[in-house]
């Protein structure tokens, strides 16, 4: 059994700044304390991008000091709010692929986790770069890892920032992974991907696409408003912070969502 904690969309800002009045540092700090208390045995904590809000070095430094408190091992992806160069200048121990993308394979006893870099940059040309993209080099890396995992008889879990398909939110669907067809054609070729995990939308969403289950997690900070037809992808609401818990089993896996700010551990008595 492998247990992974999944955070996404941390959106760290410099000290004194907030997002819709919320402090990303404090909310993530509470989440880290929660993980260390209840899941110190986790095989890893994976963060699927948008680590900081403006891609600045100061926010990465502030974030690193906080993430260093985690008890389980930490693995990071980048998202559309990130600067790959600034991120790597602070998180200097981050593993990248041979082309410098923030991609890596994690082999556990019963699965292989693939962390993908879907950041459509450089150049950092907004708003275009808010969408996700896996270039030919990144797709070749993914194919190599899928083939290797299949040869080893290991099921694969994929983690990336951008959902590789529509989620029903009009604004966010405009900035999903651009080359979703290429991605799914490749994934289906090898047939060993058991689940896809993403962020970006700031909502809890579970379903399947082209027969492959997926899960999208909420942010520790601000969430996407629920109405589907809003064209503005930048709208935010204050809802409880959350992270995901992924547990592999003998016959598959389970995906849990922990609203850690409001979660109660002491059962009520009737």
Residues whose CB falls within 8 Å of the CB of residue 164, separated by 6 or more in sequence, listed in order: 132, 176, 177, 180, 183, 184, 196, 198, 209
Q: Is 175 inside a domain boundary?
A: yes
Q: Is 149 inside a domain boundary?
A: yes
Q: Is 66 inside a domain boundary?
A: yes
Give the residue from 9, 28, 61 showing the smallest Cα distance to 199. 9
What is the domain extent for residue 38? Answer: 3-258
Q: Is 263 inside a domain boundary?
A: no
- Helix ranges (H only) for the chain are 24-38, 57-67, 84-90, 136-152, 170-173, 180-190
pLDDT higher than 70, residue 268: no
CATH number of 157's domain: 3.60.21.10
Q: Output the pTM of the full model.
A: 0.96
Q: Is 264 inside a domain boundary?
A: no
pLDDT band at 230 (very low <50, low <70, confident <90, very high): confident
pLDDT digits (tens, 9 = 90+) for 31-59: 999 999 999 999 999 999 999 999 999 99
How many domains is the chain built from?
Answer: 1
Q: Which residues pair with 216 in a beta bridge?
A: 198, 205
- Could you tell me the two tokens for 122? 């450089």
Q: What is the mean pLDDT of the segment spanning 220-229?
A: 88
């Amino acid at each position: 059994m492998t247990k992974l904690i999944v955070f996404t969309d941390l959106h760290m800002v410099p000290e004194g700044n907030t997002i819709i009045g919320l402090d990303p540092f404090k909310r993530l700090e509470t989440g880290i304390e929660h993980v260390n208390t209840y899941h110190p045995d986790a095989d890893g904590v994976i963060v699927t991008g948008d680590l900081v809000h403006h891609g600045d070095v100061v926010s990465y430094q502030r974030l690193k000091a906080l993430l260093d408190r985690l008890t389980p091992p930490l693995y990071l992806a980048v998202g559309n709010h990130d600067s790959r160069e600034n991120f790597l200048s602070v998180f200097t121990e981050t593993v990248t692929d041979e082309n410098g993308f923030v991609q890596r394979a994690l082999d556990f006893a019963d699965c292989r986790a693939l962390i993908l870099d879907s950041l459509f940059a450089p150049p950092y040309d907004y708003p275009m770069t808010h969408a996700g993209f896996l270039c030919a080099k990144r797709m070749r890396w993914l194919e190599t890892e899928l083939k290797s995992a299949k040869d080893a008889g290991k099921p694969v879990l994929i983690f990336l920032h951008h959902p590789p398909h529509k989620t029903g939110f009009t604004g966010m669907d405009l900035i999903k992974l651009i080359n979703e067809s290429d991605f799914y054609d490749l994934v289906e070729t090898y047939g060993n991907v058991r689940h896809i995990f993403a962020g970006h939308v700031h909502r809890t969403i579970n379903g399947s696409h082209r027969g492959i289950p997926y899960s999208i997690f909420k942010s520790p900070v601000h969430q996407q408003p629920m109405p589907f037809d809003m064209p503005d992808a930048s709208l935010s609401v204050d809802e409880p912070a959350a992270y995901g818990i992924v547990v592999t089993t003998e016959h598959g896996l389970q995906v849990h969502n922990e609203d850690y700010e409001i979660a109660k551990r002491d059962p009520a008595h009737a």
